[in-house]
Amino acid sequence: MISTFAQSILPAPDHIVIVILENHPYTQIIGSPSAAFINAFASDSNSALFTNSYAIEHPSQPNYLDFYSGCNQGVTNNDIPSTIPFTTANLGRQLIDSGKTFITYAEDLPSVGFNGATAGRYVRKHNPAANWMGTGINQIPETTNQPFTEFSSTNFSQLPTVCYVIPNLDNDMHDGSITTGDNWVYDNFSGYIEWAKTNNSLFILTFDEDNNTTNNQIATIITGQTVRGGQYSEMINHYNILRTIEDMYGLPFACNTSNASTISDCWTTPDGISNNQIVISMYPNPARNYVTLKINLRNNLKLAFMNVLGENVKDVLINSAISNIRVDEFTSGLYLYQLKSGTRIIEAGKIMIE
């Protein structure tokens, strides 16, 4: 029986910059002349506009926690959580554990690692990673909580693997106008957006929630070199975006992202091959002496087999469309496999050896 890999190819961006704006529904942003720049880059050939994107809940803070950790950690209001620092799974810790980097850059944050509720126009409720600052299980260093001035002064190539950017209350459209927020995005990110198109990087713009309706539809735009431009109508939410980032870097799934689907239809590879051109299958499954791998990419891939403990068992270089691979030396049982292009995981799955 042929077992086709379930996931489509995903890029592994060198950098992802995520900007979260506040409290406006999709219909107030997309098509609005007040958001001229946002609409301009949403229609770019390197941008995916998601026309059925939704927040999870109300009010603001639980959505930020959903986006960062896959659930709201039991928080249902905008107060500083009583049980911090949390020790649950989160994107920042996952990235650090995998040898990658993470930083939050917050506008008006008065100092590195600041943990107060407010400072100027900064509000902690919009800075989810602050709830994990510490030295315990799943916690992250205070140095991951940086003022936005550090982003502004950093060469794009020196940015962390993933960063969250938290505007202040005027520039995130919470207190300021849509035009104020749109101008802030242009002033601070138009250069990065253009750079990302040729440097294997992504820019993600989304909103925490709408204006407190039951619909909760928001604008979400992803732009960058490996994005196939257009409008995408599948229903997504904060969990889907987090799950996609986790899959891009081979990270564990935090909380509800284990049940969320990956955004898989808007990507190309860095050399411009669309993900829907990738056809991969491995059979038979279960296997006994050999497995056959079929793939329409031929550029020096590596197939790695691991046992259920994640220990490497066998590596095979893949240089042709059809490869017959011996597995008769394997002990009977369940094995994991990853097909990689360099360090980028193209596909992953399981196979039973009899």
Contact 113, 145 (CB under 8 A): yes
What is the overall mean pLDDT for the chain? 91
Element holding 202 (H helix, E strand): strand 201-207
Q: Does residue 313 surpass a pLDDT of 70? A: yes
Give the angle subtended at the CA of 229 by the CAs of 226 and 234, to the nearest 5°.
Answer: 100
CA distances from 107 to 20, 101, 172, 205 (A): 12, 20, 10, 16
Looking at residue 8, its pLDDT comes to 43
pLDDT tens-place string over residues 124-140: 999 999 999 999 999 99
- Between these two residues, 297 and 243, which has the higher pLDDT value? 243
Residue closest to 95 by CA, chosen among 254, 237, 223: 254
Looking at residue 277, its pLDDT comes to 47
pTM of the predicted model over 0.95: no
pLDDT tens-place string over residues 164-203: 999 999 999 999 999 999 999 999 999 999 999 999 999 9
Looking at residue 210, its pLDDT comes to 97
Looking at residue 4, its pLDDT comes to 30
pLDDT tens-place string over residues 282-311: 889 999 999 998 876 545 678 899 998 889
Tokens of 235: 């229903």
Please, which pLDDT band fits residue 36 given cuts at 50, 70 and 90?
very high
Mean pLDDT throughout 49-59? Answer: 98
What domains are there in the chain, each with its CATH number? 15-259 (3.40.720.10), 277-353 (2.60.40.1930)
pLDDT tens-place string over residues 193-218: 999 999 999 999 999 999 999 999 99
Helical ranges in the chain per DSSP H:
26-29, 36-42, 60-69, 91-97, 148-152, 178-196, 238-248
Q: Does residue 224 surpass a pLDDT of 60? A: yes
First-to-final CA distance of the chain:
14
Which one of 54-68, 257-271, 277-291, 331-345 scores highest in mean pLDDT? 54-68
Q: Classify each residue of 298-327 as buried b or exposed e, where b means 16 or more C-beta atoms within 10 Å of its C-beta.
A: eeebebbbeeeeeeebeebebeeeebebeb
Mean pLDDT throughout 7-31? Answer: 90
pLDDT tens-place string over residues 63-105: 999 999 999 999 999 999 999 999 999 999 999 999 999 999 9
List CB contacts of 303: < 8 A, sequence separation 6 or more: 293, 315, 316, 317, 318, 323, 325, 337, 338, 339, 340
- Between these two residues, 163 and 337, which has the higher pLDDT value? 163
Looking at residue 343, its pLDDT comes to 65
